[in-house]
Structure 1
Amino acid sequence: MSTRNPMNKRTQAQQAGEISGFTRKSAGSAKPARAAASSVRVEPASSRAKRKQAERGESLVGLSKEEKRARKREQRLREDRAYAVSNELLRDEPEYKSRRRVFWGLLAVGVVATVIVWIMMTMFPAGTDGTVQIAQIAGLVVAYAAIIGSFIYDLARIRPIRNDARRRAEGMSESKQIALLEAVAAKDKEKRGKRKAAKDGRDGK
């Protein structure tokens, strides 16, 4: 092991105390972080919490329980109103209605095929004719294909329309949402009144 030359200037300066040694500070010597002040906005850690906070438009940190409950109740009302408006927008979408019929048709085919296979398995247990077993397997294939296909069709062809209607509903102002819902309610009330009047007229005859 090599030693420093005692005549070296750096060695002499260290011995005289002019140069102090350097050591890395440990993690335990670090100063603890101070708590955020009440006026500082604390950002949530998870992305889901950040998204919810963005939807609310403000943080609930520092509010009382009553205020938090009021804010959450108001948020639920906004979400319910947007959901109702999006449903009303979908009622005026002919493409949505036609695709929903396709979805229910595929789902009905799958359910019917499942029932038929179940009846065949009950009437013809295992070990029967090979033709019956082939028919059972074919029925199961049709049932699974129709049911799985219906959900894939919903994801690929129907959900984009629902998402678009939801975006349009959320993009509307609160006054427009309320006006649309009131107009729909008035129209439905008028239709019910006409149906009731027609029924009373038939009963009177």
Structure 2
Amino acid sequence: MELTALYARSVDLAAEVVDTVTPAHMDLATPCGDWTLRRLMEHIVGQHQGFAAAARGAGPDLALWADAPVGDDPAGAFRRTAEDLKAAFAEAEAEAADRKLWLPEIRDGGPFPLELAVGFQLVDTLVHAWDVAASLGTPSGLAAAVNGDPALAAALVSASELVPAGPESRGPDRAFRERLPQEDADTPFERALALLGRDPAWKP
């Protein structure tokens, strides 16, 4: 599955961003509503653990998706759990490419085809890495790296287009805000951000 390799690439790019996070940054604001950078990192790590459990056959148990503490080593927590998730996706693909995963935080919980689940997580990885970079004031490097990889950029936009746009899925208390106009989106990454309700010009 090409998407699994693209997901691994997204993790590598995200890790380069997260490696620059230090304990001194953890109270910074983020594009994610009132979340601090610590809360965002705990969410990201919790999502890694939830997706890994789902890839290994866990049922729709929300407790497996809880935010996870990152302590004073957010980069280490990210890398450990991201590598485990990459391994879990690879294991699932090797066992059965038509594997279905329960994702209790998404829509009706599923089950979802493995390829769709990998696409969801690719979006999460790249967009939350952008959130982290924006919080640090350095979002342009990640966006440029993704835009410079046509296959990865296309996968990001395609998966972002699948996120429901209705009011039941969008809003201040939802995972994504309302879609923004895409007329001014000059790059694939900006288009994906607009599809997900992120302002590419956001600053702390």
TM bucket (normalised to shorter chain) is under 0.3
* Greater helix proportion: 1
- Which entry has the higher C-alpha Rg, 1 or 2? 1
TM-score, reference length from structure 1? 0.21
